[in-house]
């Protein structure tokens, strides 16, 4: 049984050996490339649903720093004024290509954390990236639908049952609990199926919990700093908002990769002696 100090030392050693922060920068580069085509794809998709675009933006503003949200809003406004079918086609093609590259980097990074050699074919890895992209779009879409229409439906249901006052308390909790749950499920699927080695839920849930909490904490802390103290426009001029966006993606990428490193360190410490070495 190792101590917390020994675990942290081993984790730090693995992070240095696997160049986790450098791989986080590489991953954030592909995320930046894919996020705008993905937004075009997602917003155009929203236009075919009863979901009001303004309500979607309000929910999105809760996650992003103000400077980054301004950029996203500008892009969405340009999308609204353009030809939807053309943008929809472009968004799908561009998102598929860039997202598959980003997923590939993510898979290689998590495999490296477990000291696993990737043996899956190029086509299978790209299929995983394409599937992950569409699943992510649907998850975000249904989450937005729930956040926007869930309140209306819930109010009617609780009013019918005579518990209208209780609903406001329940909804204030659900409004934040549902996105956190969806983020946790997304991290679970990522850590469970990305490595080229069969893992079980008990092998990945520590990294899932820590990554979820760390991502929420760092995102909120970074947004608070940028909105209240960090004047990036003074240093970078008109691209200050883009710099904020890139930094947020970099922080998010490192947090995700750290979750994989935590799981790999725990696996090698507690489960590896009883299993065959991944290869």
pLDDT tens-place values along the chain, 279 residues long: 678 888 888 899 999 998 889 888 888 887 777 776 777 666 666 666 666 666 666 666 665 666 666 766 776 666 556 555 555 566 566 666 776 777 777 888 888 888 888 788 877 877 777 777 777 767 766 666 666 666 667 777 777 777 777 877 777 777 778 778 888 888 898 898 888 888 888 899 999 999 999 988 888 888 777 777 666 767 777 677 778 778 888 898 899 999 999 999 999 888 765 444 444
Kindly report the number of other CB atoms within 10 A of residue 258's CB atom: 21
Counted domains in the chain: 1
Kindly report the number of other CB atoms within 10 A of residue 66's CB atom: 13
Q: Tell me whether residue 54 is in a domain.
A: yes
Kindly report the number of other CB atoms within 10 A of residue 238's CB atom: 7
pTM for the complete prediction? 0.78
47 three-class SS: coil
How far is residue 156's CA from residue 164's CA, in Å, rounded to a whole number? 8
How far is residue 65's CA from residue 248's CA, in Å, rounded to a whole number? 8
The encoded tokens of residue 71 equal 């950029």
Q: Tell me whether residue 218 is in a domain.
A: yes
Q: Is 143 exposed, middle or buried (0-12, 13-18, 19+ CB in 10 A)?
A: middle
Domain that holds residue 129: 4-274
Q: Tell me whether residue 26 is in a domain.
A: yes
Q: Tell me whether residue 216 is in a domain.
A: yes
Q: Tell me whether residue 94 is in a domain.
A: yes
Q: Tell me whether residue 279 is in a domain.
A: no
């Amino acid at each position: 049984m190792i101590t917390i100090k020994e675990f942290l030392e081993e984790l730090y050693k693995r992070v240095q050996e696997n160049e986790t922060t450098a791989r986080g920068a590489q991953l954030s580069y592909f995320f930046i490339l894919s996020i705008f085509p993905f937004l075009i794809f997602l917003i155009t998709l929203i236009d075919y649903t009863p979901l009001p675009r303004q309500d979607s933006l309000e929910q999105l503003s809760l996650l992003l720093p103000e400077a980054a949200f301004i950029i996203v809003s500008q892009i969405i406004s340009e999308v609204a004024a353009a030809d939807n079918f053309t943008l929809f086609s472009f968004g799908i093609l561009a998102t598929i290509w860039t997202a598959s590259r980003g997923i590939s980097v993510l898979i290689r990074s998590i495999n490296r954390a477990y000291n696993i050699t990737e043996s899956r074919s190029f086509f299978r890895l790209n299929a995983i990236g394409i599937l992950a992209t569409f699943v992510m779009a649907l998850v975000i879409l249904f989450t937005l639908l729930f956040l926007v229409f869930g309140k209306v439906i819930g109010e009617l249901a609780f009013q019918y049952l005579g518990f209208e006052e209780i609903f406001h308390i329940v909804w204030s909790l659900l409004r934040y609990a549902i996105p956190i749950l969806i983020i946790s499920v997304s991290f679970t699927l990522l850590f469970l199926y990305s490595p080229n080695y069969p893992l079980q839920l008990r092998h990945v849930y520590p990294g899932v919990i820590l990554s979820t909490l760390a991502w929420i904490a760092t995102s909120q802390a970074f947004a608070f700093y940028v909105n209240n103290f960090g004047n990036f426009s003074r240093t970078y001029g008109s691209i200050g908002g883009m710099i904020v966006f890139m930094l947020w993606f970099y922080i998010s990428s490192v947090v995700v990769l750290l979750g994989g490193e935590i799981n790999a360190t725990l696996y090698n410490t507690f489960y590896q002696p009883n299993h065959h070495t991944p290869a």
